[in-house]
Structure 1
Amino acid sequence: MTARSTNYYGYDKETLNECTELINSTNKKHAEILNLWFFIVNALCVFFSAFGLFSVNQSELGLYAVYAAISIVFFIISKFCVKKETTLRVSVIVLTIILIWTTYGILISVDQPYMAATLFMVMMVVLALSFIATMFRATACLVVCTTIFAMSSYQVKTAAIASQDIYNSIIIMMLSLGLHFAFQRARVQQFVTFQKNIQIQRELEIKSSFDALTSLLNRGRFFSIAANILVNPHNEFMAICLIDLDEFKQINDKLGHQMGDKAIQIAGQTIIDILGMDLSEKWSFQEKVLKQRGSFPGRLGGDEFIIFIRGKKGREEITEILQNILKSLNQVEVGELHGIHASFGVTEITPEDNDIDVAYKRADEALYESKRAGKNQIRFKDAPG
């Protein structure tokens, strides 16, 4: 294992960077837990010291109270005020708690000059096990903290006790570094495995939801999302549009199936572009659509497409969007393909439409009227009543 990989717990820098979000979240969570635990410990020490219980040193009552207050304040800040877990903010949180614990351990040790320190050692081990950074940063932090502790111990304690403190602190520092590497390597391994599982789940979600040729929703997922919308009360203006490419068989017969596939791809991309869809994170597309109330298209199969339109004010706005799609298709020039013609069938969705199949049937009837009227045009079918 090289020094470079050792610095990143046996991995490379890129792998650790990919886990940054998980590392920040874990560090922040551990900081909150440690602060809460530190508050409870000091609150108990205040109580025991005030009533002389369990031989807790009463001279340290003020110290316990101050650090109890600091820890609870810092817990509240990190828990409720730091919402965005950026690396900088989490690093500040981690360094602050290390500073708090280091000074606390040193002050407790200084207040007991005739005893070898133990609390500082325990706190260093706990801190080493709690936070992930890099081995270089962890080593630097532990060395600095141990050096400051050793210097304070040497200044206020007898030579014999100070020597024992220094010896113990060096041993504990080496133990902490070893434990830090072992624990954090295992933790990073968990993060890497988790990231891989997430990637696999995303890929499966994309394959099960999107048409490979056009990047539009496949038939099953489109109707699943549409049904999810209509099953709930809906008073907003919505519509469903069916699109069928005209004379598509002639494109396949005259220009070949490869050009036919190209025409389908162009039609799908045109719909995506006109609707202004963001497909950069397909795995969360359904969630975004439902949350943001946006339009979404699908491919029914062959040369048939479908669009669920939301977020528009009325028929005029829908007509303008569909006319832009039709105009863009008509202007396509690819090789021997001079324009793509398409027929549109549209119907508005009423608050009474709780079944997507009913609205789909009306749109299909509108599409049939568009075909019968000469093709390459848009026709609406009103809901009954």
Structure 2
Amino acid sequence: MDVTLLLGGLLLAGTSGLAWRSHRRARRAEAEAAGLRLALDAERHAASHDPLTGLPNRRAFYRYGAELVADRHRPAIAAVVVDLDDFKQINDEYGHAAGDTVLRTVARRLADYAGDDLVARLGGDEFAALLTGAAIDVARGRPADRLSDVLSTPIPIEGTADITVTVTASVGLVPVSPGASLAEALGRADEEMYAAKSARCREPQAAPALSPPDTASPEIPRQPAELARSKAGGS
């Protein structure tokens, strides 16, 4: 065998092996970089989203909301604050797992209602949104009634046979005036929400109906204390 050919073959084999090792190192580096990007994305998402509901958290809402409100070319916006009524009673009577189920369900329904608009969990049982366009048209006039309709479907409680809970909410909705800050708009919406909650507390409440015990989906009454007061008043 010609020595030159032998040396050429060995050199080619060595070059091919080096190229293959370089290719493997490059692929490994790409995979590590992709994994790092995914980890960073997950970390950023966790920092800006509520872990229970998956909605943006308070910090993200104020950051994105402030940008939206400050945009001179923005569409009409309404600030909304939603606070669940007697949520502590659900935790006390059915446990925190049931409360978590209610919060996740409410969050999903509000997100579906808001569509592409910004909605967030501010903390506890309080949510906020910035509605635009069609969502404002749907909510305008009687926002509490409109949003209450969104939330009124009974919520099945996970881990139970046939228990459902119906929640109500107090809602504040105000238009965001040109030049107003997000904090100002949310402050006004918060005042509207508390006014609605106070009015709800002053209204006489009918005793909730109990489903027969052998029905497929008995509904648990939301306010047993009010049921007792209603019975006392009628005796």
When structure 1 is superposed on structure 2, of 253-262 and 176-185 the one drifting more is 253-262
Counterpart of 2:191 (choices 347, 361, 365) is 365
* 8 A Cα contact 1:240 1:363, kept in partner: yes
Of 268, 276, 299, which aligns to 2:121?
A: 299
| Paired residues for 1:152-167 under 5 Å | none
Q: Which residue of 1 aligns with 2:13?
A: 174
Structure 1 distance, partners of 2:147, 2:194, is 19
Shift of 1:212: 0.9
Q: CA deviation at 1:199?
A: 1.6
1:193 aligned to 2:14?
Answer: no
* One-letter code aligned to 2:117: S
TM-score normalised by L of structure 1: 0.46
Change over 3 Å in CA distance of 1:167–1:351 after alignment to 2: farther
- Higher mean alpha-carbon deviation, 213-222 vs 313-322, is at 313-322
Note if contact 2:144-2:170 (Cα within 8 Å) is conserved in structure 1: no
Distance 2:144 2:36 in 1: 40
Q: Tell me the equivalent position of 2:227.
A: none
Equivalent residue letter for 2:97: Q
User: Aligned pair in 2 of structure 1 residues 208, 266: CA closer, same or farther (>3 Å)?
Assistant: same
Q: Distance in 2 between matches of 1:327 and 1:169?
A: 81
Secondary structure class of the residue paired with 1:373: helix
1:31-51 per-position Cα deviation (integer Å, ceiling 9, x unaligned) = xxxxxxxxxxxxxxxxxxxxx
CA offsets, 1:308-331, max 9 Å, x none? 223x15742344998665324211
Tell me the equivalent position of 2:223. none
- Tell me, which stretches of 5 or more residues in structure 1 are unaligned? 1-159, 277-293, 376-385
Is the alpha carbon distance of 1:326 and 1:176 closer, same or farther for their aligned partners in structure 2, counting shifts above 3 Å?
farther
Report percent identity of matched pairs. 25
Residues in 2 aligned to 1:267 and 1:314: alpha-carbon distance in whole angstroms: 17
Q: More helix by proportion, 1 or 2?
A: 1
The answer to whether structure 1 residue 350 and structure 2 residue 177 are counterparts is yes
Q: CA deviation at 1:249?
A: 2.1
Task: Give the TM-score normalised by the residue count of structure 2.
Answer: 0.72
Deviations 1:262-296 (A, max 9, x none): 211111121223334xxxxxxxxxxxxxxxxx412
Equivalent pair of 1:255/1:336 in contact (CA under 8 Å):
no
Indicate how the Cα distance of structure 1 residues 195 and 235 shifts in structure 2: closer, same or farther if over 3 A, else same. Answer: closer
* 1:358 maps to amino acid: E
Shift of 1:172: 5.0
Matched, 1:257 2:130: no
The 8 Å contact of residues 117 and 129 in structure 2, kept in 1 or not, is answered as yes
CA distance in 2, matches of 1:323, 1:206: 33
Q: Are 1:235 and 1:351, in contact at CA under 8 Å, matched by a contact in 2?
A: no
CA gap of 1:321–1:309, structure 2 versus 1, over 3 A, is: same
Alpha-carbon distance change, 167 to 218 in structure 1, aligned in 2, over 3 angstroms? same
2:138 to 284, 294, 317: 317
**Whole-Å Cα distance in 1 between the matches of residues 96 and 107 of structure 2?**
16
Cα distance, 1:328–1:317 mapped onto 2, change above 3 Å: closer
State the 1:170 CA deviation: 3.9
1:210-264: per-residue Cα shift (whole Å, max 9, x none)? 1111111111111111112233324411111111111112222222222222211
Shift in alpha-carbon separation, 1:206–1:315, aligned structure 2, 3 A: closer
What amino acid sits opposite 2:149 in the alignment?
A: K
Matched, 1:246 2:93: no
Taking the aligned partners of 1:179 and 1:245, their CA distance within structure 2 comes to: 65
Q: Which structure 2 residue ranges, 5 or more long, are not aligned? A: 157-161, 202-235
Count of equivalent residues: 194
Alpha-carbon distance between aligned partners in 1 of 2:146 and 2:33, rounded to the nearest angstrom:
44
Question: Residue 177 of structure 1: CA displacement?
Answer: 1.2
How many angstroms apart in 2 are the aligned matches of 1:217 and 1:231?
19
- Per the alignment, residue 330 of structure 1 pairs with 152
One-letter code aligned to 1:367: M
User: 1:93-104, aligned counterparts within 5 Å?
Assistant: none
Larger radius of gyration between Structure 1 and Structure 2:
1
